[in-house]
Amino acid sequence: METQLKFRDPNLTKEVLKYIKNLAPNYEVKFCHVCGTHEWVITHYGIRSLLPEKIDVIAGPGCPVCIVPAKEIDEAIWIALNKATVLTFGDMVRVPGSKISLLQAKASGGKVKIVYSVKDAVKIAKQNPNEEFVFFAVGFETTAPSTALEITRDPPKNLSFLISHRLIPPVMELLLGIGDLHIDGFIAPGHVSTIIGLKPYEIFPKVYRMPTVIAGFEPLDVLFALLTLLKQVSHKEARLENEYSRSVKWEGNLKAQKLINEVFEVTDGIWRGLGKVPNSALKLKEKFSYLDARLKYEIKIESSRDLLPGCCCHLVIIGKIKPPECPLFMKTCTPQTPKGSCMVSSEGTCAIWAKYGAAKI
Amino acid sequence: MCLAIPAKVLSISGVNAKVDFGGNIIREVDVSLVNVKVGDYVLVHAGYAIQVLSKEEAEETLRLWKEILTLL
Ligand code: SF4
Ligand code: SF4
C-alpha cells in the first residue's frame, strides 16, 4: 500500500517528536510493550535515543519463542529422540532446553524438521504416512488460530500436537503485580489485538487505571502510541485507545476467535523465567485429546531448568533490565552461541540489541 | 517467528490465495481466517492471512494524526 510509505513521513515524525518533548514530564515515565516486533521497530529505528531523558520504553514478555519454558522444549526433545519427528518453526530449534536445544538433539540422532507453517506440518505427515510426526505449536493469539484451523480439518492420523500456545493479556496483568516494575502505560501488541480485538484490554484502564494503546508497526505508529500515552499520563487519565485501526477492529477477528474457542480451553501456563501465569495458556479440548502428543506418548523428562548460570532472561523478559546489563551479553552469549532464549529469535530482546546495538540504556 | 507482513491478493482458489509481498515475492497463503477478495491487502502470518487491511482506515489514521497535531 503506498499509504504505507506515508507512515514513514519524516516531517510528521519530527512534528510528533516535538510534541512528545513538550509533553514530557519532569519525573520518570516508563511505558511497556509486549511484542517482539515492537522491540524490533523501537531498536531498529533508534526510537529510545530520540525520546526525552525521562521517558523509557521497556520490553515485556512479547516474543513467543523466548517465553517457552525449558520443560516444554525438553518434552519436544524427548519426542524427537524417542518417538516421532518434531516439526516446528525455525527459531524454536535453537532455544536451549534444560540441557540442550532441539538442534543439538538433532545432531545426536533426534528427528527434527523446520516448517514455515502448521500447513506444512500437515503436508509432510500426509506425504509420509508410515512415520509419526508431532507439530510443536508455539506462539500467541496470532498463531493459535492457524493451529486450531488445521485441527478442525481432520489432520492425518500420524500427526499429533505438542501445544505450547500462550495468551498475552494475562501476562500483562501479571506484570502489573510485580512490585518494583512501576509501569505507567502499555503499548498493546498489534497482531495479537488483530485477533482478539479490544475487549480483553478493557480491564487495564478500568481496573488498574493503566493507559493502554494498541499500536501498529511503523515507526510513526509507535511514536503516536507514545504521544497518546503521554497525553493520558499528563492529564492523569487512563483510557484504552486503538491507534492501529487499519488492522484492529473492536471485535477482532471473529472467525479466528471462534476457531480458538472450538479447539482450545484456557488453562494456567508456565512462562520461561516467570513461573506460572494464571489463565495464560491453551490446551486441547477433550474432544481433540486424541491429537495431544502429551497423552499419545508417555513423555519422560527429569526436572527442568529455565535459566543457565548467569543468564538474566527472566529480568530481560519483564523489562527489569536491558540486555547489556546481563553479564553474559555479547561475552559468552551471542547470536551464534545463545545461552538464553532471548538471544535466539529474531524477535528476542537480546538478539535485537545484539544486532542493532544499544540505542539507550 | 511471528512477523506479519502485508501482501496484495492476486487470485483466490478455495481456501488458498496467491499474494504479492512486493519485490517479486509471490506466495500461496491460506485465507480461511478472513473474508477477502482479489485486490485486497491482507496481513500474512506464518502462511495464513489473519486480517484484511483497510486502505480507508490507513488514510483516516494519517488524517487524524495530522489533526491531533494541529490541536495539541
Ligand atoms: S505474535 Fe504478536 S506479540 Fe508476538 S512478535 Fe508477533 S506481533 Fe508481536
Ligand atoms: S544476554 Fe543471553 S544470557 Fe543474558 S539475558 Fe540475554 S539471552 Fe539471557
Q: Which atom of ligand 1 is nearest to the CA of A38?
A: 8
pTM: 0.93
Per-residue pLDDT tens digits of chain A, which is 361 residues long: 667 678 888 888 999 999 999 999 999 999 999 999 999 999 999 999 999 999 999 999 998 889 999 999 999 999 999 999 999 999 999 999 999 999 999 999 999 999 999 999 999 999 999 999 999 999 999 999 999 999 999 999 999 999 999 999 999 999 999 888 899 999 999 999 999 999 999 999 999 999 999 999 999 999 999 999 999 999 999 999 999 999 999 999 999 999 999 999 999 999 998 999 999 999 999 999 999 999 999 999 989 999 988 999 999 999 999 999 999 999 999 999 899 999 988 889 999 999 887 544 3
Residue found under cell 512479547: A62
* Contact at CB, B1 and A63, closer than 8 angstroms: yes
All residues of chain A having their beta carbon less than 8 Å from the beta carbon of residue B23 are none
Report which bound ligand comes closest to the CA of B3: 1
Residue of B1, B30, B65 lying closest to A119 (CB–CB): B30
- Of A291, A271, A289, A273, nearest to A281 by C-alpha is A271
* Contact at CB, B54 and A255, closer than 8 angstroms: no
A298 Cβ partners below 8 Å, 6+ apart?
A: none
- pLDDT per residue as tens digits for the range A135-186: 999 999 999 999 999 999 999 999 999 999 999 999 999 999 988 889 999 9
DSSP alpha helix (H) spans, chain B: 55-71
Residue of B2, B3, B53 lying closest to A247 (CB–CB): B53
- pLDDT per residue as tens digits for the range A263-279: 999 999 999 989 999 99
Residue A185, strand partner residues: A31
Q: Which atom of ligand 2 is nearest to the CA of A311?
A: 3
* Contact at CB, B58 and A19, closer than 8 angstroms: no
* Contact at CB, A139 and B4, closer than 8 angstroms: no
Residue A134 has phi, psi (to 5 degrees) of: -130, 125
Residue among B65, B67, B68, B69 with most chain A CBs within 10 A, to mutate = B65
- pLDDT per residue as tens digits for the range B14-68: 999 999 998 889 999 999 999 999 999 999 999 999 999 988 888 888 888 888 7
Tell me the pLDDT of chain A averaged across its residues: 94
Amino acid (1-letter code) at residue A214: I
Distance CA A127, CA A85 (A): 13
Residue ranges lining ligand 2, Cβ < 6 Å:
A 311-313, 316, 323, 326, 328-329, 333, 339-340, 342-343, 350
Pairs of CB atoms within 8 A across A/B: 120
State the smallest CA–CA distance between residue B63 and chain A in angstroms: 11
Residue A59 has phi, psi (to 5 degrees) of: -100, 115
Query: How distant is the alpha carbon of residue A220 from its chain centre?
Result: 22
Residue A62, strand partner residues: none
DSSP-derived pairing of the beta strands B4-13 and B26-30: unpaired
Nearest CA to ligand 1 atom 8: A35
User: Cell for A171?
Assistant: 501476562
DSSP alpha helix (H) spans, chain A: 2-6, 10-23, 36-44, 47-50, 70-82, 102-107, 118-127, 144-152, 168-176, 190-196, 203-208, 219-234, 254-263, 293-296, 313-317, 349-356
User: Cell for A216?
Assistant: 501498529
Distance CA A208, CA A262 (A): 31
Nearest CA to ligand 2 atom 1: A329
Distance CA A268, CA A276 (A): 7
Query: How distant is the alpha carbon of residue A78 from its chain centre?
Result: 24
Determine the residue of chain B that is closest to A17 in CA distance. B69
Residue A160, strand partner residues: A134
